[in-house]
Amino acid sequence: MTLSQYYNPITYVIPTEEEGWILKDILQRKLGVSRKLLSRLKQSEEGIQLNGEKVYISVPVRDGDVVEIRMEQESSDDILPQPIPFDILFEDEHLLVVNKAAGMIVHPTKGHYTNTLANGVVHYWIEQGQRFRFRPVHRLDQDTSGVIVIAKNPYVHQHISEQMADNQVDKNYIALVHGSPHPTEGMIDGPIDRDPAEPHRRIVTATGYASLTRYRLLEKYKNASMIALKLESGRTHQIRVHMTSIGCPLIGDTFYQHPCYSEDMEMGEIKELDQYMGRQALHANELSFFHPILHQSMTFKAPLPIDMQQLLNKLLGSI
């Protein structure tokens, strides 16, 4: 395999205070290489180098030594490239940040092999003459719009995923909901698990997995509100489940419907707003994380999509 078949190296220069360390310790403790990735790098001809030479990871390092790790280029050959437009917020050689449109599935699944964000991104990379494997660091529901991060190599994916697991990534959302929360600001602490009667559905249950959502009322309308939300955990459908649990389901959410739906009542404005929106009114408007290669905090914002803005204008007209 030639160097052209590797991504650009990630480099680390040994400082004086780390002279005498074993290379393996540098790779794991300073570069943060996981055990799984370390195993892959060791099997690669150019995967681990010290001062331009392949060495055993048991060797000691000296002040000023240059450590390099190179990952082999990969591609998502199992994903059909499709010319699907998408909104790029940021891109460098390590990651891609996208403002996902509502209605778009992130990754192909059983029964949905095409017309996903992955199909569009893979096509885009091919058009750019680039080879990367599609590695989303996190997911958004099909009908949720907003910021999503895609790693271009396993090292970046590992590090941002670890930040997610350690709750070091700020995930902020805007939602338009029925009703108004009381109090107007707080934390929803409601364990979430699958509904035994309907496995695709999630419910708040004492035996569920710990789930925390911070919320804050931004604006109140006639029978609806705009809410700012911040996830402190990352459960499936978390915001939708939590807001329903406090009596403020998302407008347009037909899966986690307004409680009145089950009471065979005249819905009036509630039903009208749901039909007007056509999908859950939820948008991932801001995401912040630490770039593992550039070593700096980065924040990305996505403006409110047109359909939510139109709903907002409708709500403003009913004040």
Would you name the residues annotated as active-site residues? 141
Find out whether 61 and 23 touch, Cβ atoms under 8 Å.
Answer: yes
Q: Of the candidates 12, 287, 296, which has an alpha carbon nearest to the alpha carbon of residue 150?
A: 287
Cβ distance 198 to 265 under 8 Å? Answer: no
141 to 164, 165, 266, 270, 302: CA distances (angstroms): 17, 19, 29, 23, 16
**298: β partners:** 289
- Tokens (6 digits) for 236: 């499936």
**What residues have CB less than 8 Å from 124, skipping those under 6 apart?**
86
* Residue 11, both tokens: 């480099």
Strand pairing partners for 151? 95, 135
Q: Residue 293, class by beta-carbon neighbours within 10 Å (0-12 exposed, 13-18 middle, 19+ buried)?
A: middle
Q: Which residues contact 305 (CB under 8 A, 6 or more apart)?
A: 101, 102, 145, 283
